[in-house]
């Protein structure tokens, strides 16, 4: 780049082998396209869908499930001496189906997010006006090559890196690259010295920046990946993809569960082998492996994917595109949001708020309703005639400040196009950063009239008169002092002041040197990019949720603080840090004070990475919003990068995890709420699944140790895990969101998956285990001598053998279970009554208490917040119905699930209702305990918490008092302004 800065045009023309007058020929263009490729930004590696799918199968939980599926086939084959039956593969098919469903869901979501991004890119493909073959034509910007001659005008995107060879009042907005919000003036002359600072390269136009004013011709010196924006895009593409907090937690959780299941499998096998029949080791191994698999929540991966998928659909309707499923949960864990001001917290549209006229301040809306007079006529003419911006339909071209003036004039019935057609511009002096003024000469009904606008302090130096109440008189020093005092007052409120003057004393067309002399001051305007009304409420929601909102802006500290006050982000300069101070601090010094800063002003893009890093070092989950190319590093660095869908560049969208299609801060807060609910729903599912699984393992382990025989068969556990448990757990993620979660501060630092769920999990495990054991013994109470004789006969024993076994074991089923000489098959049949009762308990019990697992913060209010999860209720009732039905289905109940046949219910008719009552017991016990805890917490707090509540109440009272004072001061100020206007 250095060689182009100081190079003369004639030398550059030779080096690039082009012609500045005629442009390149078609043959040259074709050759250079072949040599250098299209003028497009480098894209990240697009992973094919099938590789995305295969990648999902390599996640730890999926690998364990695949291994479990294989073992589920091998174990029964060993126990059945390698006899192959269809039932052997049922477990395998169901587990593999869950693995495949989970992989498909993740793949579909990632592909959909990619398509959404592609759609955003297609919205506005840039065009370029070039000179080729000695003629002007418009082409796709991707077809540009080095040496092309590009014509620029206001409103056009810079399609490639250009060296300016001709320029007329050229102003370019380089904010997406440098972060500087004010358009930069560009020149067409060589620089005296080279520089590495982009902002100082005054004769270079950078790709993807925007022309706000003027015209120019440039020659393409770099395209695609060689441009500044291309270099950043390349560096982003080379970054390794990091794991989200949810992925890290889930991977740790998987490892823990894998270890637990392995240890449980060994423990159960050894228990059965030592206490039972050692000859039946294959059967013991099958039971141990089945229970070890039972600990693994094989449905959990699908639950997480389905829950996240439902949430991403909801977020899409709220203008949020989620590129990766796990990013939803990360957004919910955020406790610091670093956000740009312009366009996110504000409307990104300068608006006239106040009018300075007749030496007083008048509200802009009030002035627009007043009757027009001569004074107003001159004022409105100055707004639209001394102005280069254009508005036509939805198209808005020009400097934001000038567009605001046109908008205000239009609100008072002045159309800039009609005005300019009627009162032609004769001459002009463009805006100059040193003069800080702009002047035009227009023919107003045959009179050459100058209109000048500029900074108030500069304009007043050229004014000799002032118009007050439609009367022109000599301006006094008191007038000037009063106007400057008004301007300072408005500037303190972050308003940008612009003043206007005119002169009609020219009989003939004047010389340019005289255009800005002997002016008459007309009026001034005070403008601001207004705060979004939704942003004020969103910031309040964030604060209520314990999320710190940090505003990052290129504005001066005073302006930034004024906006921050309106948003309730900051209230004193102690909470504001400028780039100068930031540069003076080391990383350790910034780390020490970062928590006290709420606003960063005059910030450069490289500062954002330091800010994010400092917050992360303090243990915060940090989000960063951005739209420019320069934001890409900080978006990548943040735990969750949020890009703007409307104003955002492709590079920013590529670096981000989430894209807002409406560029609204309120949408981020909606995403936080969704993320918190997602994590809570996942934790509910984990609580339910692990609690039920552990209850099954404990009850089976205890009964196996006591009786030397497994109380249930593998098919019973399979039905429980894959039909009942999965059906209920998956529906947990489909319910409505709980907004009470936005009243609780997020946990800072590590937030393990098991935090806050231990008590709920212990309740489920303990009460379900007790109910399951009780149900089994209740069922075994129906076993009498007749049942034992029938079971032994079915197992192949003759009458003599049956009689001998009964006598040897005193006709008791317990003694027979301990008898190693009795076949396992006989013991299985004898245990049918206990197995049936326990089956009802372990499958029907969860259908009730699944609806009581409420991890939302009931501590936040004394009011019981009941949220009905319709899908969960439907699935619970459906699962309950299936459990009852399966008991009465011939063949399925006896041959597969090893339950008692229908004929037994003639005498054991009350087995089902009593077993259902036992199954319901945990639900009622948990409900009673939760009620006691709720009442105790809110109405009988312990002394320590009572003191905490008093302190919290005092802090809340102080905040309300401070808020009242702020509102009172604001109302007083508005009243004073109203009285001054009168």
Q: What is the mean pLDDT of residues 489-512?
A: 79
Q: Which residues pair with 166 in a beta bridge?
A: 217
Q: What is the mean pLDDT of residues 840-845?
A: 93
Can you give the pLDDT at residue 2? 61
Determine the straight-line distance between the first and last CA of the chain, rounded to whole angstroms: 59
Please list, residue by residue across 741-776, b when 16 or more beta carbons sit within 10 angstroms of its beta carbon and e when fewer do: bbeeebeeeeeebeeebeebbebbbbbbbbbbbbbb
d(CA 796, CA 821): 14
Q: Work out the pLDDT band at 386, boundaries 50, 70, 90.
A: very high
User: With 90 as the cut, is the pLDDT of residue 694 above it?
Assistant: no
d(CA 22, CA 133): 6
Spatial neighbors of 965 by CB under 8 A, at least 6 apart, are: none
Instruction: Report residue 548: phi and psi, to 5°.
Output: -80, 130
Element (H, E) at 332: helix 327-333
Instruction: Report residue 323: phi and psi, to 5°.
Output: -80, -25
Q: Which residue has the higher pLDDT, 230 or 766?
A: 766
d(CA 526, CA 533): 20
Catalytic site residue from 102, 148, 340, 388: 340
Q: How far is CA 157 from CA 118, 121, 154, 210, 767, in A?
A: 20, 15, 9, 5, 68
Q: Work out the pLDDT band at 473, boundaries 50, 70, 90.
A: very high
Q: Strand 548-552 vs strand 336-340: parallel, antiparallel, or unpaired?
A: parallel
| Cβ proximity of 725 and 692 under 8 Å | yes
The secondary structure of 446-465 as a DSSP string is TEEEEEEEE-HHHHHTTEEE
User: With 50 as the cut, is the pLDDT of residue 123 above it?
Assistant: no
| Cβ proximity of 103 and 61 under 8 Å | no
Instruction: Report residue 949: phi and psi, to 5°.
Output: -65, -40
| Region of residue 631 (left: phi > 0; alpha: psi -120 to 50; beta: else) | alpha
Show the beta-strand stretches assigned E in 682-823: none
Q: What is the mean pLDDT of residues 479-494?
A: 88
pTM score > 0.75 for this model?
Answer: no
Over residues 263-285, the pLDDT tens digits come to 877 887 887 777 666 666 666 67
- Sole residue written with tokens 């921050």: 564
Q: Which CATH superfamily is domain 351-528 in?
A: Calcium-transporting ATPase, cytoplasmic domain N (3.40.1110.10)
d(CA 843, CA 916): 10
Task: Dig out the tokens for 689 from the structure.
Answer: 């699944």
Task: Dig out the tokens for 685 from the structure.
Answer: 């599912």
d(CA 380, CA 364): 13
Q: Which residues pair with 753 in a beta bridge?
A: none
Spatial neighbors of 945 by CB under 8 A, at least 6 apart, are: none
d(CA 328, CA 674): 7
Spatial neighbors of 743 by CB under 8 A, at least 6 apart, are: 544, 545, 857, 860, 861
Q: Work out the pLDDT band at 286, boundaries 50, 70, 90.
A: low
- Mean pLDDT highest for which of 239-248, 280-289, 333-342? 333-342
Q: Which residue has the higher pLDDT, 856 or 127?
A: 127
Q: Work out the pLDDT band at 124, boundaries 50, 70, 90.
A: very low
d(CA 148, CA 168): 20
| Cβ proximity of 256 and 300 under 8 Å | no
- Sole residue written with tokens 């320590």: 944
Percent of the chain with pLDDT over 70: 84
| Cβ proximity of 851 and 872 under 8 Å | yes
Q: What is the mean pLDDT of residues 202-225?
A: 86
d(CA 579, CA 596): 16
Can you give the pLDDT at residue 877? 92
User: With 50 as the cut, is the pLDDT of residue 143 above it?
Assistant: yes
d(CA 649, CA 626): 9
Spatial neighbors of 502 by CB under 8 A, at least 6 apart, are: 378, 381, 382, 449, 450, 451, 452, 519, 520, 522
CB atoms within 10 A of CB 193: 8
- Sole residue written with tokens 């900051």: 570
Residue 650 annotated to the active site: no
CB atoms within 10 A of CB 221: 23
Can you give the pLDDT at residue 979? 63
> Closest Cα to residue 136, out of 145, 144, 128?
128
Percent of the chain with pLDDT over 90: 19
User: Domain extents for the chain?
Assistant: 2-37+145-222, 351-528, 784-830, 943-982
Q: Which residues pair with 429 in a beta bridge?
A: 439
**Fold for domain 2-37+145-222?**
2.70.150
Q: What is the mean pLDDT of residues 32-56?
A: 79
Please list, residue by residue across 379-411, b when 16 or more beta carbons sit within 10 angstroms of its beta carbon and e when fewer do: bbbbbbbbbbbbbeeeeebbbbbbbbbbbbbee
Q: What is the mean pLDDT of residues 505-518?
A: 69
Task: Dig out the tokens for 506 from the structure.
Answer: 């020219």
| Cβ proximity of 154 and 173 under 8 Å | no
Over residues 442-466, the pLDDT tens digits come to 988 888 899 999 999 999 999 999 9
Nearest-5° Cα angle at 557, 551 to 560: 40
| Region of residue 42 (left: phi > 0; alpha: psi -120 to 50; beta: else) | beta
Q: What is the mean pLDDT of residues 861-884?
A: 84
Can you give the pLDDT at residue 120? 45
Q: Kindly state the DSSP code that residue 495 receives in the 8-state scheme.
A: P
Mapped onto helix, strand or coil, the DSSP state of residue 475 is coil
């Amino acid at each position: 780049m250095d060689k182009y800065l100081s190079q003369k045009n004639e030398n550059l023309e030779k080096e690039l082998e082009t012609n500045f007058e005629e442009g390149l020929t078609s043959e040259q263009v074709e050759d250079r396209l072949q040599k250098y490729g299209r003028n497009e930004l480098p894209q990240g590696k697009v992973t094919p869908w099938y590789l995305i799918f295969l990648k999902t199968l390599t996640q730890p939980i999926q690998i364990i499930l695949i291994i479990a599926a294989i073992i589920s086939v091998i174990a029964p084959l060993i126990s059945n001496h390698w006899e192959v039956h269809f039932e052997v593969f049922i477990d395998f098919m169901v587990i593999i189906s869950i693995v495949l469903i989970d992989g498909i869901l993740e793949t579909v979501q990632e592909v959909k997010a990619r398509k959404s991004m592609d759609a955003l890119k297609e919205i506005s493909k840039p065009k370029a006006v070039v000179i080729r073959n000695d003629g002007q034509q418009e082409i796709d910007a991707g077809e540009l090559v080095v040496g092309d001659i590009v014509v620029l005008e206001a409103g056009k995107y810079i399609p490639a890196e250009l060296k300016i060879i001709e320029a007329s009042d050229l102003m370019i907005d380089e904010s997406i690259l440098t972060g500087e919000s004010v358009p930069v003036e560009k020149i067409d002359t060589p620089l005296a010295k080279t520089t590495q600072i982009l902002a100082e390269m005054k004769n270079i136009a950078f790709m993807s920046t925007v022309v706000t004013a003027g015209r120019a011709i440039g020659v393409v010196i770099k395209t695609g990946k060689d441009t500044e924006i291309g270099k950043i895009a390349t560096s982003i593409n080379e970054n390794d993809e990091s794991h989200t907090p949810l992925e890290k937690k889930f991977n740790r959780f998987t490892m823990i569960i894998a270890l637990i299941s392995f240890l449980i499998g060994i423990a159960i096998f050894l228990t059965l082998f030592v206490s039972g029949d050692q000859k039946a080791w294959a059967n013991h191994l099958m039971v141990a492996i089945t229970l070890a698999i039972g600990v693994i929540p094989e449905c959990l991966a699908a639950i997480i994917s389905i829950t996240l998928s439902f949430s991403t659909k909801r977020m899409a309707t709220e203008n949020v595109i989620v590129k990766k499923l796990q990013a939803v949960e990360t957004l919910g864990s955020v406790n610091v949001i670093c956000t740009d001001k312009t366009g996110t917290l504000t409307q990104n549209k300068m608006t006239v708020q106040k009018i300075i006229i007749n030496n007083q301040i008048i509200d802009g809306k009030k002035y627009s309703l007043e009757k027009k007079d001569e004074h107003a006529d001159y004022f409105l003419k100055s707004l639209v005639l001394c102005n280069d911006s254009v508005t036509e339909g939805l198209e808005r071209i020009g400097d934001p400040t000038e567009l605001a003036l046109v908008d205000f004039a239009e609100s008072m019935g002045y159309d800039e196009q009609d005005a300019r057609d009627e009162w032609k511009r004769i001459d002009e002096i463009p805006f100059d950063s040193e003069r800080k003024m702009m002047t035009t000469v227009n023919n107003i009904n045959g009179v050459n009239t100058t209109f000048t606008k500029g900074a108030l302090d500069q304009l007043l130096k050229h004014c000799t008169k002032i118009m007050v109440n439609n009367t022109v008189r000599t301006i006094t020093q008191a007038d000037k002092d009063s106007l400057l005092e008004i301007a300072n007052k408005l500037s303190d409120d972050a308003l940008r002041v612009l003043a206007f003057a005119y002169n009609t004393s020219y009989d003939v067309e004047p010389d340019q040197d005289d255009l800005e002399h002997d002016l008459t001051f007309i009026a001034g305007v005070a403008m601001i990019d207004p705060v979004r009304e939704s942003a004020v409420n969103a910031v309040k929601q964030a604060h209520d949720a314990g999320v710190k909102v940090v505003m990052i802006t290129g504005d001066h500290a005073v302006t930034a603080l004024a906006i921050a006050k309106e948003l309730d982000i900051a209230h004193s300069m102690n909470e504001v840090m400028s780039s100068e101070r930031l540069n003076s601090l080391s990383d350790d010094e910034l780390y020490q004070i970062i928590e006290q800063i709420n606003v960063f002003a005059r910030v450069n893009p490289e500062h954002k990475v330091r800010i994010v890093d400092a917050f992360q070092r303090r243990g915060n989950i940090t989000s960063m919003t951005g739209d420019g190319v320069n934001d890409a590093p900080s978006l990548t660095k943040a735990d969750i990068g949020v890009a703007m869908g409307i104003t955002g560049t492709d590079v920013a969208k590529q670096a981000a995890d989430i894209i807002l299609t409406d560029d609204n801060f309120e949408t981020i807060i909606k995403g936080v709420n969704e993320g918190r609910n997602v994590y809570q729903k996942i934790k509910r599912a984990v609580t339910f699944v692990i609690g039920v699984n552990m209850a099954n393992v404990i009850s089976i382990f205890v009964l196996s140790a006591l009786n030397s025989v497994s109380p249930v068969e593998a098919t019973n556990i399979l039905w429980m895990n894959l039909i009942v448990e999965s059906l209920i757990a998956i529906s947990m993620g489909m319910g409505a969101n709980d907004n009470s979660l936005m009243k609780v501060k997020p946990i800072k630092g590590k937030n393990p998956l098991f935090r806050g769920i231990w008590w709920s999990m212990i309740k489920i495990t303990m009460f379900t285990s007790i109910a399951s054991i009780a149900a089994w013994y209740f069922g075994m109470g129906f076993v009498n001598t007749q049942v034992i004789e029938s079971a032994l006969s079915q197992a192949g024993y003759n009458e003599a053998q049956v009689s001998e076994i009964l006598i040897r074991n005193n006709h008791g089923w317990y003694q027979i279970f301990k008898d190693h000489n009795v076949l396992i098959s006989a013991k299985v049949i004898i245990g049918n009554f206990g197995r049936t009762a326990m089956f009802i308990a372990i499958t029907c019990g969860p259908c009730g208490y699944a609806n009581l697992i409420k991890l939302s913060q009931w501590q936040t209010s004394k009011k019981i917040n009941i949220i009905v999860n319709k899908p969960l209720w439907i699935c619970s009732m459906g699962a309950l119905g299936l459990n009852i039905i399966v008991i009465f289905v011939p063949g399925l109940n006896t041959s597969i699930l090893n339950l008692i046949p229908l004929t037994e219910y003639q005498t054991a008719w009350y087995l089902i209702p009593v077993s259902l009552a036992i199954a319901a017991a945990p639900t009622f016990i948990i409900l009673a305990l939760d009620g006691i805890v709720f009442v105790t917490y809110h109405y009988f707090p312990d002394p320590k918490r009572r003191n905490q509540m008093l302190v919290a109440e005092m802090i809340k009272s102080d905040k309300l008092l401070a808020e009242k004072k702020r509102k009172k001061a604001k109302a007083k100020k508005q009243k004073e302004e109203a009285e001054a206007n009168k």
